[in-house]
Amino acid sequence: MESFEELLAESTRIHGHICAGQVIGVRMSIAALERIGISDPKGKDRKKLYVLVEIDRCATDAIQSVTGCSLGKRSLRWVDFGIMAATFVNLETDQAVRVTAREDARELSDNYCPEIEDKYQRQLAAYKVMPLDELFLFQDVQVELKDCDMPGRPIRRVQCCVCGDYVQDCRELVHHGQILCRACAGERYYKVLPNK
């Protein structure tokens, strides 16, 4: 795997700017991959790795950059918990670690770079050098992944009885014996406008 500096540079390029979240995501990924025995996440180990991210913020871009996991490859899953955390799973060994960014790391950053007045710049610099145990909480965990959430071809495709859309990967709902997409089942996030 590349060095921290190389991984941070690539993550910054993909994300569009350097920020503390990029440093958090890169360091989190490096530490987690080491703990679960993944040394080449974008090469020989790419089919062994699955990541669940709990926040849709800067660190998630860094995690994707370092691991090579993505939503499109179905090797990255977003679990909307709003926590600066991610779980890294070795699919071959079932070893998994959940890594959470420690909230008190913000205050601890003052001990590392007190000369930097801007708190965001101080955090960015400090997060690069802080010991891992001051920056993260590591938990060995067990993750039960459903077959329909795994990378690879869809397990099944079914058609919604109402709108006709095809639903993949077991995301359909059954209501009164009818197969429905989530939108037709009442979980629509959009409003269909009339044709002009």
Check pLDDT > 90 for residue 24: yes
d(CA 123, CA 99): 18
- Cα 4 from Cα 31, distance rounded (Å): 11
| 93-126: b (≥16 Cβ within 10 Å) or e | eebbbbbbbeeebbebbeebbeebeeeeebbbbb
Q: Which pLDDT does position 162 carry in this prediction? A: 96
Note the pLDDT tens digit of each residue in 129-180: 999 999 999 999 999 999 999 998 998 999 999 999 999 999 999 999 999 9
Please, what are the domains in the chain?
Answer: 4-149 (3.30.1330.130), 157-187 (no CATH)
- So what's the pLDDT on residue 96? 98
Read off the pLDDT of residues 100-136 as tens digits, 9 standing for 90 and up.
999 999 999 989 988 999 989 999 999 999 999 999 9
Report the run of H or E that residue 64 belongs to, with start and end: helix 58-67
CB 110 within 8 A of CB 122: yes
Report whether 29 contacts 62 (CB < 8 A). Answer: yes
**Model pLDDT, residue 113:** 87
